[in-house]
Chains A and B, each alone.
Chain A
Amino acid sequence: MSHATGYIPRDYDAMPRGKVAFTAPFDLQPIPKSEWKDRIDYLKEQKARLSDVVTAHGLKASDQNGYGYCWAHGTVNAMRVLRAKEGQPYLDLSATAVAAQIKNFRDQGGNTFDAIPHVAQHGVPTFATWPQNQVKRDLVTEAMKDEAAQSTLKEWWELEPNDMEMKATCLLNQVPAIAGYSHMGHMMCDLDLIYKGNDFGVLTWNSWGEKWGDFGNGTMELWGRKAVSFDQAAPRVVRIA
């Protein structure tokens, strides 16, 4: 079991809003807070939350295994969830491949906004050509590149920092949100909006392996201010082979 993190908050001076390739402003009409509880309850009753999708499709939590690559795992996990939502065949997508190539094979932290342009342009290979947690230059082969190109994602939403309404709207529309949590130094893939009483939170999918998690399969709840994420993005449409 590993508890590595690796989230580095985005420097908005160096990387201004609207300037990350393959991202677009969030254009989902915000769902008013007055509707959140009702929609949460309905999705739960219908077993139509993203956490239900993860369970129904047998998706297992990834494991960054000590590498500071949470930011790549969160990004790739969002792709895995979106693929499952769309009914696409399952692929063991390698988050390590994304992180290792971006960071020139160094064990370094990062951000989903580092990963998004790479994923959009080069895609993500599967474990067949890039096993998870293998950081080796000789894995960069033409076969790997060809395979990765089948799994690109060219449209991403850039959410406003700390905007819980935008994130809630994503989750209530069954769109996974990649979320950077400064209080944890960690980036994860949020699945569900949740509530207890008048407090709202998120059920998030961690990358510390399937045996970890308060609620099984790498999931944990974050509440109130701890559910607010600084950097956040959401995938729109995966490539369909």
Chain B
Amino acid sequence: MRPGTKPMLYAAAALILLQFAGSRGCELPDLIPGERAINLPGLAVLVVYESSQTLPKEQQAILTGTGWQKAVIDAGGNWRVLDRNSDFVGADSPWKPPIDKAPKVPWLVVSSDGGSFEGDLPADNAAMLAKIQEYAK
């Protein structure tokens, strides 16, 4: 085996394990920089929720959090807050794959030129805004 091959194999294995862990709904670290969780340019934010579920008031307020939504728009981005059973006209909406992938609800997906995040919805609007601002730079 050539020198340096083993470290490369270990790194590849780590990447594969990280992807597998993500698909099983574990707490995920941020994805590899450059990967997009939502197939849109720039900043894109998706909250996936279940409309027949009442959340704690702090998270419920995130669904209509005009503060974080304005921050996304001001950064030139797009956002959606969508029920997990949303009815799509076509199969090519960029919002459909991350909804289908969400392992549970409520779920947050943030996608940007600098990387992506997929994980639990933050505790409240302040934490939501902070998370978005990490990727809005």
Contact = CB atoms under 8 A, between A and B. Distances in A.
A186 interface: no
A56 B81 CA distance: 15
B61 interface: yes
B83 A42 contact: no
Interface stretch (A13-21, A43-51, A70-78, A102-110): A43-51
Contacts of A152: 87
A201 B51 CA distance: 23
Interface string A13-38: 00000000000000111010001001
Nearest to A57: B66
Contacts of A31: 54
A56 B66 contact: yes
Interface residues of B, number: 31
B66 A48 contact: yes
A31 B56 CA distance: 11
A56 B88 CA distance: 25
A72 to B, nearest CB: 21
Contacts of B57: 35, 38-39, 42-43
Contacts of A53: 64, 66
B83 to A, nearest CB: 5
B64 A48 contact: yes
A88 interface: yes
Given A38-B57, A39-B57, A236-B51, A87 B69 contact: yes
Contacts of B78: 87
A190 B64 CA distance: 16
A174 B120 CA distance: 20
Given A48-B125, A52-B66, A87 B81 contact: yes
A237 B89 contact: no
B52 interface: yes
Contact of A27 (B52, B61, B87): B52
Which size class do A's interface residues fall under? 35 or more
B40 interface: no
A3 interface: no
Interface string B59-97: 011111111011000000011111101111110010100
Q: Which of A46, A175, A237 has the largest count of B CB atoms less than 10 A from its CB?
A: A46
Contacts of A238: 87
Interface in B78-132: 78-83, 85-90, 93, 95, 125
B51 A85 contact: no
A46 B61 contact: yes
A163 interface: no
A155 B125 CA distance: 28
A240 B64 contact: no
A159 to B, nearest CB: 13
Contacts of B30: none
A29 B65 CA distance: 22
Contacts of A85: 63-64, 81
Contacts of A206: none
Interface in A44-95: 46-50, 52-53, 56, 85-88
A87 B54 contact: no
A50 B65 CA distance: 10
Nearest to A42: B57
A52 B61 CA distance: 11
5 contacts: A39-B57, A42-B58, A48-B63, A236-B51, A240-B87
Interface of B: 51-54, 57-58, 60-67, 69-70, 78-83, 85-90, 93, 95, 125
